[in-house]
């Protein structure tokens, strides 16, 4: 299967502290890849490298290559804005903007100077449908997004990312702030979205990784210990440390 990202010898430093060590991995297209590992192991940091969100943090130094669509996105001269429209992101806590549901969804398009009302309306409806939120909000698109429940807010954030028609959606622990029912809905949605998008999800829950992902990477202390088919990784881990982690001996 075709690769979406190829990461090669990636090292990342926060000041003097090295947060990622010699990461190399390929991420396949139209699959769900899960990053698991204990807190502070670098899984979110790697995720944020894929759409250059680490640019927002001062004193970060990144070495190595991340190839996306035959281009090394780890170079200074790439168009970061264009990259981010192709690689969307959903965050840990639902973070809709304090504006209407409609405006939240079309925000990214507006930033691209798309003003045509018909286009915006169409994209808004399609994105909300894909995020399985349309039926719940179609009558109150102009209400403030903060009137929605936590799970709905998170699905709105997914719709907002989908509206940009990205190729990849990065999800940074998207269900950690949600209740089990909302979590189930999001997981169902991820299964649905995987037909059209490459999904990379960071999760704290091994069960979630086992349920929804095709491939899993296990991180420890800034290194990838093991990566492979989710079924294999959970049933026949090759590394002792992976086994210890998934059987709950630490973490």
Partner 1 sequence: MRKFNIKDLILDGITYLFSSVSLILLVIIFIFIFQKGFSSLNLELFTSPYWSENYYASIPASNNTYLLKSTLDSNEYYSEKFGIALKDDFNARNEAIVVISYVHPDSPFNELTNSTSGANEGQIITAQEGMIVNKISYINSNGVTRSAGLVIKQMAEDTINTIEKSDQLDSVFLQTQGGGILGSLIATIMLILISLLISLPIGIMTAIYLNEYAKYNRFTPWIRSSIELLTGVPSIVFGLMGVLVLFPITSVFGASGTSILLGGLTLSIILLPVIIRTTEESLKVVPDSFREASHSLGANHSQTIFKIIIPAALPGILTATILSIGRIIGESAALIYTMGTYISDKPELLKGATSLAVQIWSIMNGDQPNFGLASAISIIILVMVLVMNIGVKVLTRSKVKKW
The CA–CA distances, whole Å, from 151 to 94, 147, 167, 180, 189 equal 8, 12, 23, 10, 12
Q: How far is the CB of 176 from partner 1 (least distance, A)?
A: 13
**For the residues of 91-158, what is the DSSP string, one character each?**
-SS----SSBHHHHHHHHHHHTT---HHHHHHHHHHHHHHTT-HHHHTT-TTSBGGGS-HHHHHHHHH
Nearer to partner 1, 102 or 218 (CB): 102
CA 93 from centroid of its chain's CA atoms = 13
Nearer to partner 1, 150 or 228 (CB): 150
CA distance 217 to 197: 19
Q: How far is the CB of 234 from partner 1 (least distance, A)?
A: 30
Nearer to partner 1, 148 or 246 (CB): 148
Q: How far is the CB of 98 from partner 1 (least distance, A)?
A: 6
Nearer to partner 1, 53 or 182 (CB): 53
Q: How far is the CB of 213 from partner 1 (least distance, A)?
A: 21
Q: How far is the CB of 18 from partner 1 (least distance, A)?
A: 21
Q: How far is the CB of 111 from partner 1 (least distance, A)?
A: 4
Nearer to partner 1, 60 or 141 (CB): 60
Nearer to partner 1, 130 or 160 (CB): 160
Please give the residue ranges that form the binding site for partner 1 (CB under 8 A). Answer: 51, 53, 56, 58, 81-82, 84-85, 88-89, 91, 93, 95, 97-99, 107-108, 110-112, 146, 157, 160-161, 164
Show contacts of 19-23: CB within 8 Å, 24+ apart.
Answer: 19/45, 19/222, 20/45, 20/46, 20/49, 20/222, 21/221, 21/222, 21/223, 22/223, 23/64, 23/223, 23/224
Q: How far is the CB of 28 from partner 1 (least distance, A)?
A: 22
Structure tokens at 191: 């299964």
Surface-to-core class of residue 236, CB atoms within 10 Å of its CB (0-12 exposed, 13-18 middle, 19+ buried): exposed
CA distance 234 to 10: 25
Nearer to partner 1, 159 or 210 (CB): 159
CA distance 216 to 213: 7
């Amino acid at each position: 299967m075709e690769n979406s990202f190829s990461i090669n010898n990636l090292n990342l430093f926060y000041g003097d502290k090295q947060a990622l060590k010699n990461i190399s991995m390929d991420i396949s297209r139209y699959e769900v890849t899960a990053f698991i590992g204990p807190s502070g192991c670098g899984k979110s940091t790697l995720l944020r490298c894929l759409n250059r969100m680490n640019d927002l943090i001062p004193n970060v130094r990144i070495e190595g290559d991340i190839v996306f669509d035959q281009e090394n996105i780890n170079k200074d001269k790439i168009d970061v804005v264009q990259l981010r429209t192709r690689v969307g992101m959903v965050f840990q806590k639902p973070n809709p903007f304090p504006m209407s549901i409609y405006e939240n969804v079309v925000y990214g398009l507006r930033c691209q100077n798309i003003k045509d009302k018909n286009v915006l309306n169409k994209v808004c409806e399609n994105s909300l449908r894909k995020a399985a939120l349309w039926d719940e909000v179609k009558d109150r698109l102009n209400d403030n997004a903060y009137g929605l429940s936590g799970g709905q807010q998170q699905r709105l954030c997914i719709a907002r990312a989908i509206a940009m028609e990205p190729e990849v959606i990065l999800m940074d622990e998207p269900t950690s702030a949600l209740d089990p029912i909302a979590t189930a809905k999001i997981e169902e949605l991820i299964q649905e979205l995987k037909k059209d998008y490459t999904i990379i999800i960071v999760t704290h829950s091994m069960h979630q990784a086992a349920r929804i992902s095709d491939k899993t990477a296990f991180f420890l202390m800034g290194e990838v210990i093991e990566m492979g088919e989710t079924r294999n990784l959970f049933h026949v881990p090759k590394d002792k440390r992976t086994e210890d982690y998934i059987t709950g001996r630490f973490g």
